[in-house]
Amino acid sequence: MKKLFFLLSALALLGFAEKREPITIFMVGDSTMANKPIEKNSLERGWGMMLPGFFSPDVKVDNHARNGRSSKSFIGEGLWKTVCDGIKPGDFVFIQFGHNDEKPDTARGTKPETTFKQTLARYVNDTRERGATPVLFTSIVRRKFNENGKLEDTHGRYIGAVRELADSLKVACIDINAATHNLVENLGDEPSKKLFMWVVPGTNFALPEGKQDDTHLTAAGGRAVARLAVDSIAAKIPALAPFVRHYDFVVAKDGSGDFFTVQEAINAVPDFSKERRVSIYIRKGVYKEKLILAESKINVSFIGENQAETVLTYDDFAQKKNIFGQDKSTSGSASFYVYGHNFYAENITFENSAGRVGQAVAVFVSGDKVAFKNCRFLGNQDTLYTYGRSSRQYYESCYIEGTTDFIFGSSTAVFHKCEIRSKTDSYITAASTPQGAKFGYVFIDCKLTADSGVTKVYLGRPWRGFAKTAFVNCDLG
């Protein structure tokens, strides 16, 4: 009886774990942390805006930082109450003030030894009362070099006050001031300008006259500061360490990454990077781009934030005309071309959205040793083109849909634990396995499903004379 009780308890706990809400990190602070508008190609970013690109989807970053706020005015304007109303046990609150507490006006100004510490203590105590964990951050540096090439301190006692309060209240303190001081000073006067809002006149639509700002950050600066922050977070906050992620590039439509488009990130990958794998994190969004991973872009990984909400799509099709009035053809219709070897993708939807207009490829794979995990391939006729004759491909826990011949081509490809969904009465595969190849398509532990009204589906037909297709231990529906 005891064994049964413990088994049921374990199952209940597992069920609870699966339904657990994401941990939320609430951010309260000033403009150096805040989210920024991205209209008109605006370049400014707060480091908190870039933070989501350093955590797994199990962590939600809710950034409430605002331009011009001090620890005092953030409370006085009711912004802190809004944050408190959303805090739940297990969450975290990142607190960073100082830049505007130094201001002389009564609405914002505080004294480091008295009112500044007292106000920060309120944030800490309010957070703890709600079962969440407060984390204090010192302010980032201002970029002010002296004649000896050394950074000058501009914050006075406000930095020390944060450290002292954290120590007295036993609160984790992320000394981002010290970390950014080292970063900026080591870069030097001129190179460090790329981290801050130093804009050459005539180079940016939002700032036609240029700007020289030693306080606020560019996207590169925001990413650099966020990276320093998460390195300290991983070291000092064990509960968050398992969720920290480091990617070489982040793509995000909301401006929280290195690039707005996936192709920009691909282009930034060094050619023939043989020594290390290059990772690209693609945050949620619909990216309508015709993508090419060139043969020189090897050892590249695409990691999506969410399979259903990270969508790479385009709408070409075989009979669509190119600029010379010619049909694009089946090969020319693809939304994404994979020529680079050792490509890996996870948690992404690949789509051809042209509709039922004939051949319209979602993904065209020519490179060798290409793998997809937990991805979706959406389309109609000719959804997935396994093109390369010597290409070896692996698909695990993927969803692939289409109407006719929606998995086709010459490659050797293994489909493991995938759902293969037919949208009409037609053929699933059209293999053109080369003569002498030991294997063509191998489906293992897959589930074949169909849309409502579909009654007659063929497992495949040979595109050419030596086609090989095997279904092993599959549920044929």
Catalytic positions, written as ranges: 382, 405
The Cα-based distances of 192 to 58, 139, 221, 357 in angstroms read 33, 17, 9, 52
Q: Which helix (H) or strand (E) holds 96?
A: strand 92-96
In angstroms, how far is CA 269 from the centroid of its own chain? 16
Nearest to 385 by CA among 406, 355, 370: 406
Residue 198, CA atoms < 13 Å, CB-side half-sphere = 14
Local structure of residue 224 (DSSP, 8 states): H
Q: Which residue in the block uniquely carries the two structure tokens 């302010």? A: 139
Using a 10 angstrom Cβ sphere, with 0-12 exposed, 13-18 middle and 19 or more buried, the burial of residue 242 is: exposed
The beta strand positions in 203-323, using DSSP E, are 211-218, 249-251, 278-282, 285-288, 291-293, 300-304, 310-314
Q: Give backbone dihedrals phi and psi of 120, rounded to 5 degrees, phi first.
A: -60, -35
Using a 10 angstrom Cβ sphere, with 0-12 exposed, 13-18 middle and 19 or more buried, the burial of residue 19 is: exposed
Report whether 376 contacts 396 (CB < 8 A). Answer: no
Residue 111, CA atoms < 13 Å, CB-side half-sphere = 3
Residue 136, CA atoms < 13 Å, CB-side half-sphere = 29
Q: Is 169 helix (H, G, I), strand (E, B) or coil?
A: helix
| 3-state DSSP helix/strand/coil % of the chain, to nearest 5 | 25, 30, 45
Local structure of residue 51 (DSSP, 8 states): G
Contacts with 452 (C-beta within 8 Å, 6 or more apart), sequence order? none
- 78: alpha, beta or left, given left = phi > 0 and alpha = psi -120 to 50? left
User: Would you list the DSSP string of 365-403?
Assistant: E-SSSEEEES-EEE-SBT-EEE--TT-EEEEES-EEEES
Q: The sheet that has 447-450: what strands, in order across it? A: 285-288, 310-314, 349-352, 376-378, 399-402, 419-422, 447-450
Report whether 13 contacts 80 (CB < 8 A). Answer: no
Task: Check the CA dihedral 281-286-288-290 and report its sign.
Answer: positive
